[in-house]
Amino acid sequence: MSSRDKILETIAANQPELVALPTIDLDTVIRYDDNYTQFKTILESIGGKVELIQNLSIVDDQINIEKANGQLIINMINETDKQIVSLTSFELEKLEKVYIKGSLGVAENGAVWVYESQMHNRLLPFICQHLILVIEKKDIVATLHHAYEKIDVTKEGFGIFIAGPSKTADIEQSLVIGAHGARSTTVYVVG
């Protein structure tokens, strides 16, 4: 018998009698008066930056200035720089900033959901030195329960919740921002 069949057979023989799944009643989970304020407070407490903007023109101007300064910047907000995401990991290592549009924000933990199609290359949000995410204010939900109601994890090959910059406290529990991934994460909230 293959290991697969042997394992599954033993599990079937040893597992206890079927018990029911709980009903998850969303009326019992936390709500916030203002999801945006909660989102900002939490994300800033874990090392992220949040800015409320009226429209994307500020971001566009910023990108133009940065590009003019010769920095390696990838703008994925309107798929502007779609052609350069085929760069190798060696080339992408020089990447200074990436601008990506996220699907939604989560007030309770400061996380932003990003689909693979929004980053085009799975490596982008990690390998860049600085990550800039853009979400709509109306797309900030209270908790992860609400977030999973809105997203579909099977829709694409990859998706991720990103909450703040890469960090570690592995040396004597001292918090250091910028472990392997982005050294900073800024979220522009449009609305």
Partner 1 sequence: MMETTHSKLAEKFIADEPRTDWHDETLWLVREKRDKAAHGLPEWEQLREWGSQIKNHSLSNFSVYLKEFEEKATANGIQIHWAANAEEHNQIIHKIIEKHKIQKIVKSKSMLTEECHLNEYLEKKGVEVVDTDLGERIVQFRKEPPSHIVLPAIHLKKQDVSETFHQHLNTEKGNNDPQYLTEAARQHLRNKFIESDLSITGVNFAIAETGGFVICTNEGNADMGSHTAAVHIACMGFEKIIPKAAHLAVFLRLLARSATGQPITTYSSHFQKPRKGQEIHIVIVDNGRSRQLGREDFRNSLKCIRCAACFNTCPVYRRSGGHSYHTSTAGPIGSILNPNLDMKANADLPFASTLCGSCTNVCPVKINIHEQLWKWRQEIVKQGYVDTSKKISMKGMAFLFSHPLLYRFTGKMARWIMCTFPFMVNNKLNVWYKQREMPKAPKESFTDWYKNNKKNTK
C-alpha–C-alpha distance, residues 127 and 100, integer Å:
13
Can you tell me which of 63, 72, 95, 110 binds partner 1, judged by CB under 8 A? 110
Binding piece for partner 1, criterion CB under 8 A, among 55-63, 74-82, 132-140, 153-161: 153-161
Q: Does 128 bind partner 1 (CB under 8 A)?
A: no
Can you tell me which of 85, 123, 136, 137 binds partner 1, judged by CB under 8 A? 123
Q: What one-letter code names the amino acid at 29?
A: V
Can you tell me which of 165, 184, 187, 189 binds partner 1, judged by CB under 8 A? 165
C-alpha–C-alpha distance, residues 23 and 49, integer Å:
36
- Please give the DSSP secondary-structure letter assigned to residue 12: H
Can you tell me which of 75, 117, 132, 145 binds partner 1, judged by CB under 8 A? 145
Least separation in angstroms between CB 53 and partner 1: 23
CA 180 to chain centre: 15
Least separation in angstroms between CB 103 and partner 1: 12
Give exposure, 109-148, as e/b (b: 16+ Cβ within 10 Å): bbbbbbbeebbbbebbbbbbbbbbbbbeeebbbbbeebbe
Q: Does 83 bind partner 1 (CB under 8 A)?
A: no
* Of residues 170-189, those binding partner 1 (CB under 8 A): 170-174, 176, 178-182
